[in-house]
Structure 1
Amino acid sequence: MTELTQVHHGADAAAEVWNADDRYAVKWSGGGTTAGVETTAFLAAAGVRGVPAPVQTISSGLWSEHQGKRLSLAPWIAGARAAETGLSTEQWASYGALLAEVHSQEPPQHLQDLLPPINPVSHRMPALTRELNHRLTTQAPADDLEAELAETWQSHRETIATLLERSAIAPTPGKRVICHADPHLGNVLVAPDQLYLIDWDDAVLAPVEQDLLFMLGGMGALGPTTQADQDAFFTGYGPAKLDPDRLTYYRCARALEDVALWAHQALTGPDRKDCLEILQGVLSPDGLAVRALA
């Protein structure tokens, strides 16, 4: 009999993950799109070793449908989360090389058609931000934690409003490549043989700025924390000519996502206090929200 152990990592409330006997990672997801599984299958087949290939179903599919969600399997990677261990200089260079290899793959037409141009989560953020703004600025808080959340929100209303405005402006066109769209260290596993980039639910076809924003500061311990780390990443990645307008757009879109989702979870749970502290970090002087608008 296969023993399933639930894995409690990540902030994706739409997905549940189990470890099946240290053989498979079992994911039941209602978020993202089917493009994520298709993308990992393509990248693994193309020889990108840092992307685990999905295990086919008995009908040769990449996932099955259960209760309106996708159930998929991938090999279980026995490794630590880079968000917990950090990366050495050599590992930062290896990660840069891995992401460059992902970006260099030319997806077939059917995958280009399937991959969305913008992270699906981003489409929901303007409405959620306005809903949160109404509640936190016009309604009495239900408890002390919501009162602190409202105070944090109101003290940063101008920043949040500017993020909302700038993330609504379409970025300048650029060459579109396969992007993970969430390649922070929480989605990187450090295994004995190499690094692995997991959780491709939000994969998109977009300019490289969509992914590289995570390597330019403002992500706390989920990105490079020193100039040496950042330099090592780009040594492995190679030359990257970033468009300032596109970078501002993607940083603002991500910052708005972090603000709205962490604020919402601070209201609804779970882990309300932790979520409030993360939100305060995003809005801090060294957080992504402020850096995005610099």
Structure 2
Amino acid sequence: MQLIREDFILPFLKQLKQVLRKECASLPMDLKCLLGAHIKPLEQSIDRVEGLSEILRRSNPKMALCHTDIHNWNLMQRDEQLVLIDWEGLKLAPVKADLMFFVDKPYYDVFMNIYLKLHKDFLINTDALLFYHIRRKLEDIWEFIEQLLYDNQEDKERNETIKVLDGELNNLVF
């Protein structure tokens, strides 16, 4: 089995930038208005993640096996233990690829204190952490835009997608 190795490439960005810069005039009005209100932070996030991608590609960071999609839906409880499921994103990557899922959680500091006791030589690479955080945000935003552009959604579903996309856009980091 050939293991996938993190390459810090951002394949979805080309399409996202094309929609934001070239196709914006032809977007449905609800999507155009929503994106128009967030164009500056979106562009700043894109620029930031592209810069971090380049830095990380050149820095050759330490890699480990990572799940790359840790969230509540990928956790199951069995007796007194949590079991992590859905390993389709398994790859060699900096451990920040997994740690970034905990950054905005209220238990992050407690988690990191325990993690650092177990991994005494671990240093937080803020560039990698920020890269994964911004990349995930932009990937999610692009997925919602794709749904609005290409899926045949009923009004209620479309309104819900717009609402969730608006929340993601309001929480952009750069």
TM-score in terms of structure 1 length:
0.49
- Partner Cα distance (2:73, 2:15) in 1: 24
Map 1:39-78 → 2, pairs under 5 A: none
Match of 2:134 among 252, 260, 263: 252
CA contact (8 A) 1:118 1:205 kept: no
Match of 2:96 among 196, 199, 209: 209
CA contact (8 A) 2:66 2:90 kept: yes
Structure having the higher Rg:
1
Match of 2:161, SS state, is helix
Corresponding letter in the other structure for 1:282: E
Aligned position for 1:177: 64
More helix by share: 2
Question: Structure 1: where are the runs of 5+ without partners?
Answer: 1-110, 142-146, 218-223
- Partner Cα distance (1:241, 1:181) in 2: 19
* Superimposed CA distance per residue, residues 187-242 of structure 1 (whole angstroms, 9 cap, x where no aligned partner): 2223334211111222221111111111111xxxxxx2x2xx22332244335521
Q: Give 1:118 deviation, angstroms.
A: 4.0
- Partner Cα distance (1:159, 1:184) in 2: 25
Question: Structure 2: where are the runs of 5+ without partners?
Answer: none
Do structure 1's residue 114 and structure 2's residue 6 form an aligned pair?
no
CA contact (8 A) 2:25 2:32 kept: no
CA contact (8 A) 2:74 2:84 kept: yes
Match of 1:241, SS state, is coil
- Partner Cα distance (1:238, 1:164) in 2: 31
- Partner Cα distance (1:236, 1:262) in 2: 35
Moved over 6 A (4+): none
Corresponding letter in the other structure for 2:166: Q
- Partner Cα distance (1:140, 1:132) in 2: 8
Match of 2:11, SS state, is helix
- Partner Cα distance (1:174, 1:128) in 2: 28
Do structure 1's residue 125 and structure 2's residue 12 form an aligned pair?
yes
- Partner Cα distance (1:123, 1:181) in 2: 15
Do structure 1's residue 266 and structure 2's residue 148 form an aligned pair?
yes
Q: Give 1:140 deviation, angstroms.
A: 5.2
- Partner Cα distance (1:126, 1:156) in 2: 16
Aligned position for 1:79: none
- Partner Cα distance (1:194, 1:158) in 2: 44
Q: Give 1:177 deviation, angstroms.
A: 0.4
Match of 1:279 among 150, 158, 165: 165
| CA 1:273–1:116: 2 relative to 1, 3 Å | farther
Question: What percentage of aligned pairs have identical amino acids?
Answer: 26
Do structure 1's residue 200 and structure 2's residue 87 form an aligned pair?
yes
| CA 1:196–1:118: 2 relative to 1, 3 Å | farther
| CA 1:182–1:278: 2 relative to 1, 3 Å | same
Do structure 1's residue 232 and structure 2's residue 114 form an aligned pair?
no
Aligned position for 1:82: none
Do structure 1's residue 149 and structure 2's residue 31 form an aligned pair?
yes
Give the total of aligned pairs: 160
CA contact (8 A) 1:167 1:252 kept: yes
Aligned position for 1:163: 45
Corresponding letter in the other structure for 1:275: T
